[in-house]
Amino acid sequence: MKFIDILKSLYAINGMAAILFYVPQIRSACKNKSPMRSVSLVTFGGWSFGGAVTVLYAWLFAHDPMFVAASFGGMTGAVSMFCIVVSKRLTYRHISDKAPIEGPRASSRGGHAGSLTGERPRAVAAPHPRRPLLAFRRRKNRDTSLSPLPRACLELLTNN
């Protein structure tokens, strides 16, 4: 067996392994009931774009089906994570990641709610949505109201 054949086989195995490594991350992200602000949209967006470029290169220039398949699998994983995180941030934007944990043992033991029973902790919703996002000192003749679009953008940016 030649070195090039061994390298090709390792590339195929590595490509399939990379695809399989996305499965637990996607599964965990789908089960998550929070806005997932600790996951970087810039990173997964960049990987998605890079994956799309790689797929196009493999298909149009390299003409290697194994290269196309491995690149497409990696791109699919990155795009899936990007879409899941965007969906979670839009769905759970009213929940604060830094909110206290509710439950009978949350404050008495210093742990998470139900830590002895195996229950998962639940996040408490953020303050009422009609309250202002930022605390301004009110001054005379100063308008502190925000329209809905800048308010939503500010909320996404400040809650990372």
Which pLDDT score, from 0 to 100, does residue 111 have? 47
User: What pLDDT, on a 0 to 100 scale, did the predictor assign at position 23?
Assistant: 92
How many Cα atoms are found within 13 Å in the side-chain-facing hemisphere of 115? 11
Specify if 36 maps to a domain.
yes
The pLDDT assigned to 9 comes to: 83
**What is the per-residue pLDDT for 38?**
86
Is the distance from CB of 123 to CB of 95 less than 8 angstroms? yes
Number of structural domains found in the chain: 1
Q: Is residue 157 part of a domain?
A: no
Q: Is residue 76 part of a domain?
A: yes
Q: How far apart are alpha carbons 131 and 138 in whole angstroms? A: 14
Identify residue 130 by its one-letter amino acid code: R
Residue 154 lies in a domain: no
Please state, in angstroms and rounded to a whole number, the distance separating the CA atoms of residues 24 and 137.
46
DSSP tag of 144 = -
pLDDT at 57: 94
Give the Cα separation of 62 and 64 in Å (integer).
5
pTM exceeds cut of 0.95: no
Q: Residue 113's pLDDT is what? A: 46
Q: Is residue 119 part of a domain?
A: no
Asked if residue 140 is part of any domain, the answer here is no
Q: What is the pLDDT of residue 159?
A: 66
Spatial distance between the Cα atoms of 136 and 149, rounded to a whole number of angstroms:
19
Cα gap 136→144, rounded to integer Å: 7
80 is in which domain, residue-wise? 3-91
Residue 153 lies in a domain: no
Looking at residue 15, its pLDDT comes to 80
Q: Tokens 């990155």 sit at which residue?
A: 78
Averages of pLDDT over runs of 10 residues in the chain (160 residues) are 86 84 91 87 93 94 88 92 92 70 47 49 55 51 56 63
Domain with residue 37: its CATH number is: 1.20.1280.290
Q: Is residue 127 part of a domain?
A: no
